[in-house]
Structure 1
Amino acid sequence: MPVTEVEGRRLKLSNLDKVLWPEYGFTKGEALHYYAQVADALLPHVRDRAASFLRFPDGVDGERFFAKNAPAGTPEWVSVADVELTRSTVHHVLVQDLPTLLWAANLAALELHVPQWKAADPGAAPAAPVRADERLADRIVFDLDPGAPATVVECCRAALLVREALRADGLDAWPKTSGSKGLHLYVPLAPASAEATSAYAKSLARRLEEEHPELILHRMARKLRPRKVFVDWSQNSRAKTTVAPYVLRAKARPTVSTPLTWDEVEACADPDELVFLPGDVTERIATHGDLLAPLLDDHFDLPDMTD
């Protein structure tokens, strides 16, 4: 089993030639190489957030499972946040650095999902867990999901309307592809409760459905979704997570959840225009840098909804 040293940490890497995306012939070793290339852009968006992983050790065509707890054998240098829920405590990995990112990828924990809040006291002892219901959100996310035959093209139309509504409320958003069918829009916030952020997101989605019923839906019922874009506001719950920027997806091809420019959103006329593979993403970072960097610096106050 190959052993390598990454930033002073020894990593045992296994089955690097194993093909995890058969349709594309993309191997685990190539996935690790991709994550090493994009780590500088990816890590700031997940650091201090309680990570959950989608693992698929036998590839995208095999069994997959969602993992929240740090697995047995987790190295002592991997940061863990103990998050107290109503009936249990979950031992979440914090992906703080490149060695942790590559260690997780080597476990075929290749999809990384994080909440809209940061864990306090990273690495806290089990006797002092973080209470999830005390965490404050520092962003809002809208997950735009198209109901067939609608595609990401309709999601782009909806995204422009969401951004217009946000700007009217003194906010702004930054887009990325989901790496699947739709788009995600992020709004950076001064810390606010999950109840307040969820209420605002739901209110905005409902308002947009009332104004654009031919395109936008804020209700979750699947029977209502054909030909429309579901503006999913519910991922702002403390219990929900969203796939992180620059993360590979467990789809037929190794598509990536990729930050976009608003010009790309506005110009989109073909779903294939917004499908990005690992090589595309490394080239985009070289050209544009991290298009989501403003999320790390800009913070808007949540509008007052008491009126």
Structure 2
Amino acid sequence: MTHVAIIGAGAIGQALAHILDRNKENRLELFDKDPAKVTRAALPLPDVVKEAEVLFLCVPSWAMRGALTEMKSYLSQDAIVVSLAKGIEEEHKKTMDALLVEILPQHRIALLGGPMLAAEFMEDLPGVGCLATEHVEVAEQIAGLFAGTLLSFETTSDVRGVAFAGVLKNIYALGLGVAHGLSWGDNQKGWYLTRALVEMATIVEQLGGKRETAYSLAGIGDLVATGFSGYSRNSRSGEEIVRNGVCNIQSEGCASLPHFLKLLPADRSVFPLLHGLEQIIIDGKDAKDIFSQLIR
């Protein structure tokens, strides 16, 4: 039996618990700062973390540094740490893999990306995620936790590529939300999706990942699921921007965009869609005007 800990009992944390409960070889503990979110026995953080062989971090990027700092003294050196967050933390502009390496340098880490809509898992709809790790034994152990469940994986060693692909899909999903809000047709959305994928692949490669990762579940697969789903906070955020001119929904895309842009050259005109989203979300320009210019 494997002791599994999930930190964060929001939508994805609850969905992960729902999936892992199907494998009776898992001994599962769930922790959240808000005990009301934990539907099983709520234990203190040290008790949840100290025996964990595999720990899943289901907290947003803006809370990740604090969560890691708080739990690291309780965590076994042999524990595998898996992040599901797809963002960039504000303090040092780091992706989640880089943040894990900084704070937990002795631990084996992995990222879980790809299309993983929590609401669908709660409805018992199956899915395939993207598991990124440099350690073959880690991939095998994590896959074993999900044996016979709703979730299976494609694996890759391109951890950096998956990290950046996850950030980018959230950002470009905002654009699909804007397109929805502007009542764009499917032809126009097809154009947007094609251009977004080209930009994503180029950026992932420039930042040290593999170009093909953008064409995998971690990139295009996740973007399609997120951008066209009514469950997606990023897509809803884009629609909100069209209605109100600002993003009032807290989402990884809106949170990560200003930090992510600092990793790119000052001239972002070579990425027209990304530059357009910057103008709309950060500079406050009119979404209809910007998107009309993009497709001309």
State the TM bucket, normalised to the shorter chain.
under 0.3
Structure with higher helix content: 2
Give the TM-score of the pair, scaled to structure 2: 0.27
Give the TM-score of the pair, scaled to structure 1: 0.26
The structure, 1 or 2, with the larger RCO (C-alpha pairs under 8 Å, 6+ apart) is 1
